[in-house]
Amino acid sequence: MTASNLKVALVTGAGSGIGLAVAQALLEEGFSVVFAGRRQEPLDALVKAAKEAGHQALAVSADVRDPASVDALFATIEEVYGRLDVVFNNAGVNTPAVTLDELDVNDWLNVINTNLTGVFLCSRGAFALMRKQTPQGGRIINNGSISAHTPRPLSAAYTASKHAVMGLTKSTALDGREFNIACSQIDIGNALTDLSVRMTKGVRQANGTIATEPMVDVKHIADAVRYMANLPLAANVLNITVMATNMPFVGRG
């Protein structure tokens, strides 16, 4: 791929689950993908496999909670590729399911620092690079979750973080207009990954009961992000929800 048609994408939390599925989908679309995550070794293995399959990829260990680590991530991207076209802000964590009074402050801060401040720091770094590169512009896609709209029981920190991401998405989309930077959000409901498989065994519902919930193949999440990433910058999907059809979200469940 020549410099004139080089497409570069960054995926945070790319080592597993939704992040990995999206990173692999973007590789298939011809993007050079930067796999970012806290653990270098699994990222290196994924990048090695990608290169063996004929793709361009780079593994960078980064902690999205740490401004210096995020700055180093974007400095590396600029040094290696000279530009950045798409960011998928995916890295996220949750807390134990406890009532608000039992929620440890450190657990709260970890969720906010990862799910919200991490998105801010990576969006900030991407915005700066996209604003100054030639041609100018790019696309930032945030992983919002349906918790950006309505909570599950016992999820105050996660819900608060995802509601805030929605506001950050809209503000970034607005501020990016002048610089040809589009920002959007994908809200995901019950994508089946190693972390979410527990939900197939029963999840607490709003009425206090425990019920199993339907799941959706993570491939459909990756396909949605693939579509968003390939849009021309003159078009934007501001918000999209991809969910298991029969999960309890739009009803009274």
* pLDDT tens-digit map of 141-185: 999 999 999 999 999 999 999 999 999 999 999 999 999 999 999
* Domain containing residue 74: CATH number: 3.40.50.720
CA dist 29 and 160 (Å) reads 34
Is residue 253 included in any domain, yes or no? no
The mean pLDDT of 222-246, rounded to a whole number, is 97
pLDDT tens track for 65-75 = 999 999 999 99
Task: Please check whether residue 165 lies inside any domain of the structure.
Answer: yes
What is the Cα–Cα distance from 114 to 62, expressed in whole angstroms? 12
pTM: 0.95
Residue 49 within any structural domain of the chain: yes
Q: What angle do CA 14, 20, 21 make, to 5 degrees?
A: 145
Domain assignment present for residue 250? The answer is no
Query: What's the CA gap between 146 and 155, in Å, rounded?
Result: 12
pLDDT of residue 3: 55
**Is 157 domain-assigned?**
yes
Q: What is the pLDDT of residues 92-109, one digit of tens each?
A: 999 999 999 999 999 999
Q: What is the pLDDT of residue 4?
A: 58
Which DSSP symbol is given to 113? I
Check if 158 is active-site.
yes
Q: Which domain holds residue 91?
A: 3-243
Is 251 part of a structural domain of the chain? no
1-5, 134-138, 216-220: the lowest-pLDDT one: 1-5
Instruction: Give a yes or no: residue 200 inside a domain.
Output: yes
Instruction: List Cβ neighbours of 171 (8 Å cut-off, separation of 6 or more).
Output: none
**Catalytic member of 35, 88, 158, 249:** 158
Number of compact structural domains in the chain? 1
Element (H, E) at 159: helix 156-176
Measured between alpha carbons, how far is 30 from 7 in angstroms, rounded to an integer?
7
Q: Give yes or no for residue 1 having a pLDDT over 60.
A: no
In a domain, 101, yes or no: yes
Residue 140, strand partner residues: 87, 183
| CA dist., res. 59 & res. 42, Å (int) | 9
